Amino acid sequence: MKYIDAGPSPAGWSRLSNVLKCPRYYALNREHDRTASDALVRGSLMHIALAHHYAAIGAEQHDTQVEYLSPEAAVERCVAEADCELHDKWKDNVIGVYHQYAMMYPTPSWRIQAVEEIVSTKVRDDVRDVSYDYTARIDLIVAHHGKHYFVDHKTSFMILRKTYNKYTLSGQFLGQQMMGREMFGGDFGGVILNLIGWDDKKPVSSFKRKVLPYAERSVALFPDTVIMGERMIADFSGRDAFHWPGAHRETACQTTYGPCSFFDTCKRGGHYE
Ligand code: SF4
């Protein structure tokens, strides 16, 4: 039975997002990954469940023989391989919310084209005479009413207008829209956010799908953002992590989700705590 990897892509947005947020955070995080959190783990497990859900539907639609692990078995396998308390904590809850999702959308109106597909492009930096790889793992590529769409599964505490508004200018989606246009031209319909509103204190979750607004000018200028991030990485490489410049902004060092995971390291001067 086939198991699908739903991990990050090799040269994707999260790396550039980190260095643009704070170069020192990027460098410290590369040495000492502290990204594991409840939100991240439950989101990753839900991706695993949905990847196997849609892969099985795609195989059926295309009348192919590939057999995938069931979504439940895939989540079990991911939890066993992670061997981490947070994964154990969220396993049953994820499977329960996945069952609600499958009941909410019993018959897909989409035609599945690819699941967890890595797409890539090159971004040219003429000043430095170099081309940078840029990649994205697309959760789902579908055809719908004559257009091709990228679908991104997002779990959040609840679904509000600001929940999808905040993704409109996110580099993750500007990059996806840039690559979608490159792949499908005028037949690219955009990025669909597949939102799962998941308050674990409530017995029933909420679900919503929405095509992200297309920020045309920002998509066109997105290569400049990639170039800026890549230049920062190239320019500071070779320094030890603490000597990469820090952002030192309230919104970076103390976010709405709590302090930066290296707050104490920065405060006291270069020691991991
Ligand atoms: S505490 Fe602030 S300066 Fe230090 S790594 Fe985090 S974001 Fe950067």
Average pLDDT over residues 231-235: 97
> What is the Cα–Cα distance from 51 to 176, expressed in whole angstroms?
18
Render pLDDT for 39-60 as a digit per residue (tens, 0 to 9): 889 999 999 999 999 999 999 9
What pLDDT score does 217 carry?
96
Neighbours of 243 (CB within 10 A): 13
Is pLDDT at 256 greater than 80 in this prediction? no
What pLDDT score does 5 carry?
83
Residue 263: pLDDT band with limits 50, 70, 90: very high
Cα of first residue to Cα of last residue in the chain, in angstroms, is: 42
Name which residue leads in pLDDT, 10 or 161: 10
Supply the DSSP symbol for 243.
G
- Tell me, using a 6 A CB cutoff, whether residue 247 lines ligand 1: yes
> What is the Cα–Cα distance from 99 to 38, expressed in whole angstroms?
20
Q: Are 139 and 58 in contact (CB under 8 A)?
A: no
- Locus of tokens 């909410």: 104
List the residue whose alpha carbon is closest to atom 4 of ligand 1: 266
Q: What average pLDDT is seen over the chain? A: 92
Is pLDDT at 273 greater than 60 in this prediction? no
pTM of the predicted protein model: 0.92
Concatenating the DSSP letter of every residue in 90-156 gives: HHHHHHHHHHHHHHHSSS--SEEEEEEEEEEEEEEETTTTEEEEEEEEEEEEEEETTEEEEEEEEEE
* 264 CA from centroid of ligand 1 (Å): 9
What pLDDT score does 166 carry?
84
Is pLDDT at 31 greater than 90 in this prediction? no
Mutate to test the pocket of ligand 1, among 21, 248, 255 (most ligand atoms within 8 A of CB): 248
List the residue whose alpha carbon is closest to atom 2 of ligand 1: 253
Nearest atom within ligand 1 for CA of residue 248: 3
Of the ranges 31-35, 125-129, 132-136, which one carries the lowest mean pLDDT score? 31-35
* 38 CA from centroid of ligand 1 (Å): 21
What pLDDT score does 51 carry?
97
* 42 CA from centroid of ligand 1 (Å): 25
Average pLDDT over residues 107-131: 95
What pLDDT score does 197 carry?
86
Average pLDDT over residues 77-88: 91
Is pLDDT at 115 greater than 80 in this prediction? yes
CATH class of 13-240: alpha beta
Residue 272: pLDDT band with limits 50, 70, 90: low
List the residue whose alpha carbon is closest to atom 5 of ligand 1: 25
- Mean pLDDT comparison of 26-35, 186-195, 201-210, highest-scoring range: 186-195
Render pLDDT for 132-180 as a digit per residue (tens, 0 to 9): 999 999 999 999 999 999 999 998 877 677 777 789 999 999 999 999 9
Is pLDDT at 200 greater than 80 in this prediction? no
Residue 269: pLDDT band with limits 50, 70, 90: confident
What pLDDT score does 35 carry?
65
Helix 13-21 and helix 216-236, axial crossing angle in degrees, nearest 10: 70
Average pLDDT over residues 117-140: 97
Beta strands 130-144 and 111-125, pairing class:
antiparallel
Residue 107: pLDDT band with limits 50, 70, 90: confident
* 25 CA from centroid of ligand 1 (Å): 6
- Locus of tokens 């995938």: 68
Of the ranges 19-23, 141-145, 212-216, which one carries the lowest mean pLDDT score? 212-216
Q: What one-letter code names the amino acid at 58?
A: G
Q: Are 148 and 141 in contact (CB under 8 A)?
A: yes
